[in-house]
Every structure is written in structure tokens, then in C-alpha cells.
Amino acid sequence: MDRSTPVTDLKGIGEKTGQLFQKIGVRTVGELLAHYPREYETFQPPVPIAEASPGQVCAVYAEVASVLRPKKVRRLTILSLSVRDRSGALQLTFFNMPFLKNVLKPGGFYLFRGLVQSRGAARVMEQPKLYSYEDYRKQCGVMQPRYALTKGLTNQAVQKAVRQALSLYRFEEEVYPEELLSQNDLISRREALNAVHFPEDRAALLRARRRLVFDEFFDFLLLLRQNKDLSAALPNSYPMYETADTVRFLEQVPFSLTRAQKKVGQELKEDLGSPFCMNRLIQGDVGSGKTIVALLALLMCAANGFQGALMAPTEVLAAQHYETVCGYVKKYRLAFSPVLLVGSMSAKDKREACERIASGEANLVIGTHALIQEKVAYRNLALVVTDEQHRFGVRQREHLAEKGKDPHVLVMSATPIPRTLAIILYGDLHISVIDELPADRLPIKNCVVNTSYRPKAYEFIRREVAAGRQAYVICPQVEEGELEDVENVVDYTERLRSALPADVQIAYLHGKMRPQDKNRVMEEFAARHIDVLVSTTVIEVGINVPNATVMMVENAERFGLAQLHQLRGRVGRGEHQSYCIFVSSREQKETMERLQILNRSNDGFYIASEDLKLRGPGELFGVRQSGEFSFGLGDIYTDADVLQAASEAVETVLAEDGSLSLPKYRLLRQRLEETSGQQGVDFRTI
């Protein structure tokens, strides 16, 4: 059994279960083993009821005191009972499990485990899990993996499949030479894969992560460094000079550039006219106004008779950039002749777009990775700008270079990265920072609340909508069943529709929708036909709807602070006061304190570093910090030390043997060839 063996070869996985696995992106055994747990749960010994405090998941061993008759509320059957031990009493509620009435008899002792919540003076546990004392004792203290699931697929089933796969898997030979392993404190992949799924303890899990994350970073950096062209100072094949166009454009737009925007604009101008090809990164917090600076460079490019390309990570974002540019062209008579090129366009539209690009009639091409497909031939591509996705830039740069003679490259990023990491991740890119927000912005008002605040939040959204504004509501998952106890976009939309007046237009957006549908929803939202947009984090990347003033995030405790900050950046983009409501369904002190950091600061850089301080590396495994750098397991912030180590290891290897032709690097070279063959694998297709 190896990487490519279909999961349906495992015992107990037939065609039907196989389809469920496919839904979570698992077709092969290799993919199953890389379906890392989202989190781990360790059962703690039962506590006396008096110590079961709200906001915490607890286990209690208690006697059933009384069972009420099941109540019907709409489609729900609610069974309530009260249990007690010597220290106190607790309410339990079960939904749609009326049969428990016959199982849980007054006077019987059971072990219940669940989230304790306060309801007025009383404490309740909703939908607790039931265990026999013996069973619970056996599982106590063991870290249990929790996987991303889908409806119909239980955590138990995934666990079983993984266990089986681990025992039958033929592990590949070690690709690193021995000294690299020992210098970097790396365990074998075999041990790592076993421990990441079934860790003995925290320490074992951290060791496992270290190895797996190291591999991800190492591959990425090796590919990056191997591409020598990226770091060499190439001659400027497309020298550009300022024309009247940019000056006139700036005179016309209804705002003046910030000091930081001007500074960066100047740096770009100097690059484009210098003897060397531009290779630059613009780092600027969300809302700092990166787009217009890039447009100035693209305008210079067009005015000098060249073509420019603007690439976005998603169709939604590409379409939005296109709209913005078209708006500017119409209003200010810019020298752009823009064309949109995205995957979901009809074959005919694509062909027409390509013709305009090939003839040179279009001088600004805006799109997603469809842009760099083989078929697209440019007339004279001189500048490539990539927005909000670094990997997009790096991986594709070599392909772009083939399209023309080394175009200038500009990468825009909102991910705040400390300088040491930036040097590793961006290599030789020059870095410009927009460290200032436009002055007319009102600071966003934030609050961190628990779920009991929801009715007030809905009322607030209703009032904002009545005043002509719009709102986002973010849920961590798309539909029911992926994770337990977590809000999902589809059901939440329904609930919101019944909580808000009928004339409030509510729609949803998530990554599993077809690109056309996503584009349509975003267009409708931008055109104000939709008032409230319920979405997953797909809208985290770059969307600009200045009329939106409310950002409500459900299960905020599940997101990294840097990511929440990105989400917050979707509001506060216009002249109106904006608001952020972070709803935490865990009332634990640490969770609330962590979220309070967002309250205190509006500085992405500070937030990311504080977040790290509060929760050492490797904590909160499921939390993703950076959407831009998407690795399977690794996170550039929490695994910064591993990133550093991988970077040094890559340098050492390449210094010794730049072409990886020594026998000890044979397997490494093979793996590199495999990964570099997987074009486009890492694109987040949102």
C-alpha cells in the first residue's frame, strides 16, 4: 500500500464511504495520511458538579435526579433532565433524542461530557455525550484526533481508516541525508505520521509536527531558491518613464495619496526606469490602499506602450479589480484598455480576450491563474502584479518569464511578516512598506462578546441595513458536519433570515460554490442588492465594498488573530463608522483575553506578534493565520523557527550541490521534480 492506493482498498471503505472521503478531499491513502487532525481532544477526569464552570467542556459522573417529558418545539424534540452529585446539580438538554428517556432512569449513575453553559442562575450542558465509567476511564488522558468531516462520515470512521492505513503503508525511503536529519532534530516521516494522528502526548505531537512542517517549508524554499533567475539582477528590458497620465490621474481622483503611498509610488517609478528589472514586494496592512499604487505602475506601463498584468488569487477579486479599473477608465479617461481573463468565462469570451492580448490591443490584463495558461500569448508583457498571494507570484514567475523577456514583477501582500521571515520567504525581492492608513478613516469599533449577545447584534445589523449600510457575517464552516459545535454558513443563513425582517436581503458565499455563482453573489453584494452576506473566510482576501460597515464573526475563537484582523479589514473602508463583532462561543478567560488584543490594536503587525506571544508555537493547531501562505500543516507565524531551520538547511544543501546531483540527494531531487510538476496545486480555489 503506497501513496496512490485508493482509500477504497482499505477494509470497511466501500464505494459509498469512499465518496464521503472524496468529499473531504481524500481519494488516496497518501491523501488520507495527509488529512491531519484539525485538533486534539484530551478527556480530563470527571469533576464534581460544583466545579463545572460555564464555558468549559467538562465530564461529570452524576445521578439522574429527574427526567422531564420530551417537549416538541417546531421540528425539535427537547429532552431535559437534571442530574446531581454531592456537590450540586446540573441541567442537561438533549435534542432529537427522545429515546434517551428510556435509557436514563432516575437513580442511575452516568458519565456525561459536554460544554457547560450558564442559563440565568442555572448551569446547563447541551447535547452531552454519554459514556460508561469504564470506557471513559480508558480514554482519559489520551489525545484523541479530531478530523474535518462531512455529513455521514464520523470521526470514528476516519480514525479507523487512518489507523489501518498507517499499519499497511509502505513508507518511502528517507529523502534527507542522515546529517540533515540529526542537525535539524528531525524524526522519521514514519514516526511523524504516526504521531501526528495518534500522539502519545504533547511532546510527541510537537516532534511530529516539526518534521512534517519542515518538509513542507523545505520543498517550498528549495523550489524557490533553485530558480536562480529570481534572485539574479536582470537587465531592464522594458524601461519606462513617467508620462502625463499618472500625474493627471492623481489630480483627478477624489483623494490625495498618503505619504506612504507616495513614497512607495516613487520607489516603483525609480525601479521601472532603472537599469535593472523590478522585483518588488509591497507590504501594506488591509485598507492601506495598495491597489491604486499598483495601478499607477500599470498605467505607466500602458502609457509607455507595453502590456501589464494584474493577477488575483480568486475570480471574485479579479472581477473586482476589473470593475475598479473600468470605473476609473470611464471617469478619468485613462490610457488603459483592460481585459478580464478568468477560468469561468465562456470559451468564446476567453478566445476573444486572448486575441486582444495577443494583438496588443489590450494593454492591461486582469485575471486569475488562467492568465498564465499556455494558451495566452502576450504581445509585450512588461509588468506583472500579483495581489494578495505570494505563492502565486513565486511559483508562476518562471512561467511568466517565458511569456516575454523577464517582465518587471510586483507582489502585493497584506500579511505582516517580520523582516527575518520576509527575507526567507521573499528571497531577493525589494520590500516597500505602506505603513499608514488614509487619514479619513474612522477607527473601527470592536466588541468581543459571547453568544447571548446575538439578538442585540442582529438588531444592530437591522438598523445599519435600514440606514443603507451592509454587513458580513462569517462562519468557520460551509455546511453542517465538518466540525462539531461550529456554526456553518448554510444553516446560519436560514437562521438569520428568520431573525431579520423579510425585506433584508441575505445571501451566502463559500468555497464550494461554482466560480460563476460566487462572482454573481459578490457582484450583487457590491451593487447593494444583497444587504447581509453570510460567508466563510473566502471574503478575507482583498474584497473592497466600502459601503459594508458591520463584520460579525461567529466562533471567533477558532480563528487566528491575524486572520481576524484581515477579516476586520473588509469593513472600515469608506466614510461611514464601521463595527466588528467577534462572537466567541467559548467563555474561557484565555480565549476572551486573546480576542481582546484585537480590541486594543488595529495594527496587523502588532496583533500577529502578540498572538504568538500568548500561545507558544504549535498551540491551536486548527487555527490558520495566513491565507496567503497556505501550507498543509505549517504556519509561517507559529512555525517561524522551523521555517528558519528549513531555510538554513536549503542553503546548506544548495551550497554543497546546487544541482542536487550527488547520490545522497537523489531522492530529494526526485521529490523536487514531483512537486514542481504539480502546477497550481496550491491555489486556494475560493
Element (H, E) at 432: strand 430-434
The C-alpha cell that represents 393 in the structure block: 507570484
- Report how far residue 565's alpha carbon sits from residue 567's, in angstroms, rounded to the nearest whole number: 5
Instruction: Report, in Å, the least distance between residue 223 CB and ligand ADP.
Output: 27
Cβ partners under 8 Å of residue 336, min gap 6: 298, 299, 302, 325, 328, 329, 363, 364
Of 295 and 500, nearer to Mg ion (C-beta) is: 295
Of 414 and 567, nearer to ligand ADP (C-beta) is: 414
Q: Is 393 in the site for Mg ion (CB under 5 A)?
A: no
- Report how far residue 32's alpha carbon sits from residue 274's, in angstroms, rounded to the nearest whole number: 50
Binds 255, which of ligand ADP, Mg ion, none (CB < 5 to 8 A, cut-off by type)? ligand ADP
CA distances to 193, 357, 537 from 312, rounded to whole Å, are 34, 18, 16
In the DSSP assignment, the letter for residue 312 is -
Nearest residue to ligand ADP, using CB?
289
Instruction: Report, in Å, the least distance between residue 426 CB and Mg ion.
Output: 18
Backbone region of residue 266 per phi and psi (left: phi > 0; alpha: psi in -120 to 50; beta: other values): alpha
Binds 184, which of Mg ion, ligand ADP, none (CB < 5 to 8 A, cut-off by type)? none
CA distances to 215, 254, 417, 577 from 682, rounded to whole Å, are 15, 38, 20, 37
Q: Is 287 in the site for Mg ion (CB under 5 A)?
A: no
Of 284 and 367, nearer to ligand ADP (C-beta) is: 284
Task: With beta carbons less than 8 A apart as the criterion, state whether 342 and 368 touch.
Answer: yes
- Report how far residue 311's alpha carbon sits from residue 385's, in angstroms, rounded to the nearest whole number: 6
**Strand-pair partners of 372:** none
Instruction: Report, in Å, the least distance between residue 529 CB and ligand ADP.
Output: 20
- Report how far residue 5's alpha carbon sits from residue 23's, in angstroms, rounded to the nearest whole number: 17
- Report how far residue 310's alpha carbon sits from residue 296's, in angstroms, rounded to the nearest whole number: 12
Of 566 and 638, nearer to ligand ADP (C-beta) is: 566
Binds 440, which of Mg ion, ligand ADP, none (CB < 5 to 8 A, cut-off by type)? ligand ADP
Of 338 and 542, nearer to Mg ion (C-beta) is: 542
Instruction: Report, in Å, the least distance between residue 541 CB and ligand ADP.
Output: 10
Instruction: Report, in Å, the least distance between residue 37 CB and Mg ion.
Output: 33
Interacting residue ranges for ligand ADP, rule: CB under 6 A: 255, 257-258, 261, 284, 286-292, 414, 438, 440, 542, 544, 546, 573
In the DSSP assignment, the letter for residue 45 is P
Instruction: Report, in Å, the least distance between residue 611 CB and Mg ion.
Output: 22
Binds 287, which of ligand ADP, Mg ion, none (CB < 5 to 8 A, cut-off by type)? ligand ADP
- Report how far residue 518's alpha carbon sits from residue 512's, in angstroms, rounded to the nearest whole number: 9
Of 288 and 584, nearer to ligand ADP (C-beta) is: 288
Binds 241, which of Mg ion, ligand ADP, none (CB < 5 to 8 A, cut-off by type)? none
Of 258 and 535, nearer to ligand ADP (C-beta) is: 258
Identity at 601, one-letter amino acid code: S
Of 280 and 573, nearer to ligand ADP (C-beta) is: 573
SS3 (DSSP) at 145: strand
Task: With beta carbons less than 8 A apart as the criterion, state whether 406 and 239 touch.
Answer: no
Task: With beta carbons less than 8 A apart as the criterion, state whether 472 and 509 touch.
Answer: no
SS3 (DSSP) at 100: helix
Of 116 and 286, nearer to ligand ADP (C-beta) is: 286
The C-alpha cell that represents 444 in the structure block: 473601527
Of 94 and 322, nearer to ligand ADP (C-beta) is: 322
Binds 288, which of ligand ADP, Mg ion, none (CB < 5 to 8 A, cut-off by type)? ligand ADP
Binds 261, which of ligand ADP, Mg ion, none (CB < 5 to 8 A, cut-off by type)? ligand ADP
Instruction: Report, in Å, the least distance between residue 472 CB and Mg ion.
Output: 16
In the DSSP assignment, the letter for residue 37 is -
Instruction: Report, in Å, the least distance between residue 526 CB and ligand ADP.
Output: 12
- Report how far residue 265's alpha carbon sits from residue 283's, in angstroms, rounded to the nearest whole number: 13
Of 407 and 569, nearer to ligand ADP (C-beta) is: 569
In the DSSP assignment, the letter for residue 419 is H
Instruction: Report, in Å, the least distance between residue 434 CB and ligand ADP.
Output: 7
Instruction: Report, in Å, the least distance between residue 288 CB and ligand ADP.
Output: 4
| Interactions with Mg ion, residue window 531-550 (CB under 5 A) | 542
Q: Which of 300, 433, 408, 447 is nearest to 364 (CA)?
A: 300
- How many C-beta atoms lie closer than 10 Å to residue 327's C-beta? 10
Of 134 and 440, nearer to Mg ion (C-beta) is: 440
| Interactions with Mg ion, residue window 237-276 (CB under 5 A) | none
Q: How far from each other are the two terminal CA atoms of the chain, in whole angstroms?
A: 33
Q: Is residue 243 packed enough to be buried (19+ CB in 10 Å), middle (13-18) or exposed (0-12)?
A: middle
Nearest residue to Mg ion, using CB?
542
Of 284 and 560, nearer to ligand ADP (C-beta) is: 284
Instruction: Report, in Å, the least distance between residue 310 CB and Mg ion.
Output: 11
CA distances to 336, 423, 508, 594 from 457, rounded to whole Å, are 44, 42, 18, 21
- Report how far residue 39's alpha carbon sits from residue 573's, in angstroms, rounded to the nearest whole number: 35
Binds 173, which of ligand ADP, Mg ion, none (CB < 5 to 8 A, cut-off by type)? none
Instruction: Report, in Å, the least distance between residue 170 CB and ligand ADP.
Output: 47
Instruction: Report, in Å, the least distance between residue 249 CB and ligand ADP.
Output: 13
Task: With beta carbons less than 8 A apart as the criterion, state whether 19 and 88 touch.
Answer: no
**Strand-pair partners of 73:** 76
Instruction: Report, in Å, the least distance between residue 387 CB and Mg ion.
Output: 6
- Report how far residue 38's alpha carbon sits from residue 148's, in angstroms, rounded to the nearest whole number: 6
**Strand-pair partners of 338:** 364
Of 46 and 284, nearer to ligand ADP (C-beta) is: 284
Binds 546, which of ligand ADP, Mg ion, none (CB < 5 to 8 A, cut-off by type)? ligand ADP
Task: With beta carbons less than 8 A apart as the criterion, state whether 226 and 235 touch.
Answer: no
Instruction: Report, in Å, the least distance between residue 575 CB and ligand ADP.
Output: 9
Identity at 86, one-letter amino acid code: R
Of 286 and 646, nearer to ligand ADP (C-beta) is: 286
Of 290 and 594, nearer to ligand ADP (C-beta) is: 290
Instruction: Report, in Å, the least distance between residue 294 CB and Mg ion.
Output: 9
CA distances to 26, 71, 384, 422, 514 from 686, rounded to whole Å, are 19, 42, 22, 25, 9
CA distances to 373, 380, 381 from 403, rounded to whole Å, are 10, 9, 7
- Report how far residue 210's alpha carbon sits from residue 618's, in angstroms, rounded to the nearest whole number: 9
Query: Which residue ranges make up the site for Mg ion (CB under 5 A)?
Result: 542
